[in-house]
């Protein structure tokens, strides 16, 4: 427990202390956000805000992890997923900067790059990380054995959540706060399961996200960019895989599921019925166009995320007692 608390505190302090210098570095390099023209009009004022702040989160989390953890396979699998996805996001952010547009890597290319990454991570998880190909259903003692299909399932889960967090990262502090809450829940689950290294990693990421929020809350001084959102989404899904709580992630990370579903519903409805269900997607933009302030949306989404994370953790705890 002391190592977990120490790692959390170090990650938090590192993000807070390094934040101002890192933001100045981004400003001097001219690394600013390019706002897409299709978004809400008031977002155009954010044009040029430093981005790639995900680097600050990832470095602030990695240092205490290396200091406090035993580098066991369960946490190393999540490290591979997190920092591998972060590199894909970094390439996307750099391409946007070079093109001076809001469009970076093609979506199919990003998914294609994640295929070998997830494949390697799943192989290591199944052979060295103590994971099996049976899906555990919360509160039910029997699981669902899916065999080799587990690779496909894991890819859909990890790629899906990395891109769902990316979609959620549309308002100041929205992705950082909601990921911190969900990650904290999975760090707690890992601790209860006796996976101390994994709990340390989850706590490091939580602390780094909270420290980053000091600079990312409205009005943001820095954005995490795809470097942060793709990495954190993959980290969250990776925590679910290694704790064998993949299905519980759909509840704990329910807000990200809703964000992604809103886009899918909008695309399907417009393509086949030529009608929009929402004013704009992802769904947080819908509430913006309804007249909600950015701060109100962010805080309410944080609260929803906290409720879902608390419900998920409680469900795990009750299921653990039942066993």
Structure confidence at residue 102 (pLDDT) = 62
Reading the chain (323 residues) residue by residue, the pLDDT tens digits are 889 999 999 999 999 999 999 999 998 887 777 666 556 666 666 677 888 999 999 999 999 999 998 889 999 999 999 999 999 999 998 888 777 666 668 888 999 999 999 999 999 999 998 899 888 877 776 778 888 899 999 999 999 999 999 999 989 999 999 999 999 999 999 999 999 999 999 999 999 999 999 999 988 999 999 999 999 999 999 999 999 999 999 999 999 999 999 999 999 999 999 999 999 999 999 999 999 999 999 999 999 999 999 999 999 988 776 55
| DSSP letters spanning 50-110 | B--THHHHHHHHHHHHHHH----HHHHHHHHHHHHHHHHHHHHHHHHHHHTSS--S-HHHH
| Domain count of the fold of the chain | 1
Please check whether residue 18 is in contact with residue 60, taking contact to mean a CB–CB distance below 8 angstroms. Answer: yes
Q: Which domain holds residue 273?
A: 2-322
Q: Residue 35 corresponds to which tokens in the numbers above?
A: 């706002």
pTM, two decimal places: 0.93
Distance CA 195, CA 129 (A): 10
């Amino acid at each position: 427990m002391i190592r977990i608390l120490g790692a959390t505190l170090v990650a938090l302090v590192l993000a807070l202390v390094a934040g101002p210098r890192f933001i100045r570095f981004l400003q001097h390099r001219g690394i600013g956000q390019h706002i897409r023209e299709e978004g809400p009009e008031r977002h155009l004022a954010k044009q040029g805000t430093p981005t790639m702040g995900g680097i600050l989160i990832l470095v602030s989390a990695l240092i205490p992890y290396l200091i406090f953890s035993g580098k066991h396979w369960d946490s190393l699998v999540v490290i591979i997923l997190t920092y591998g996805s972060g590199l894909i996001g970094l390439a996307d952010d750099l391409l946007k900067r070079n093109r001076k547009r809001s469009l970076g890597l093609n979506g199919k290319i990003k998914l294609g790059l994640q295929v070998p990454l997830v494949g390697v991570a799943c192989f290591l998880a199944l052979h060295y990380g103590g994971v099996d190909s049976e899906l555990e259903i919360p509160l039910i003692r029997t699981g669902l054995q899916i065999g080799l299909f587990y690779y496909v399932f894991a890819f859909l889960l990890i790629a899906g959540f990395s891109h769902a967090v990316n979609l959620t990262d549309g308002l100041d502090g929205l992705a950082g706060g909601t990921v911190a809450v969900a990650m904290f829940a999975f760090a707690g689950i890992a601790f209860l399961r006796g996976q101390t290294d994994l709990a340390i990693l989850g706590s490091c990421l939580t602390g780094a996200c909270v420290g980053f929020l000091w600079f990312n809350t409205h009005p943001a001084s820095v954005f995490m960019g795809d470097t942060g959102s793709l990495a954190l989404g993959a980290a969250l899904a990776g925590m679910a895989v290694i704790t064998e709580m993949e299905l519980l992630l759909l509840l704990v990370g329910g807000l990200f599921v809703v964000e992604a579903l809103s886009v899918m519903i909008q695309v399907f409805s417009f393509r086949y019925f030529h009608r929009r269900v929402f004013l704009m997607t992802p769904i947080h933009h819908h509430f913006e166009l309804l007249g909600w302030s950015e701060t109100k949306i962010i805080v309410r989404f944080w609260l929803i995320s906290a409720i879902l994370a608390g419900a998920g953790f409680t469900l795990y705890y009750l299921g653990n007692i039942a066993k």
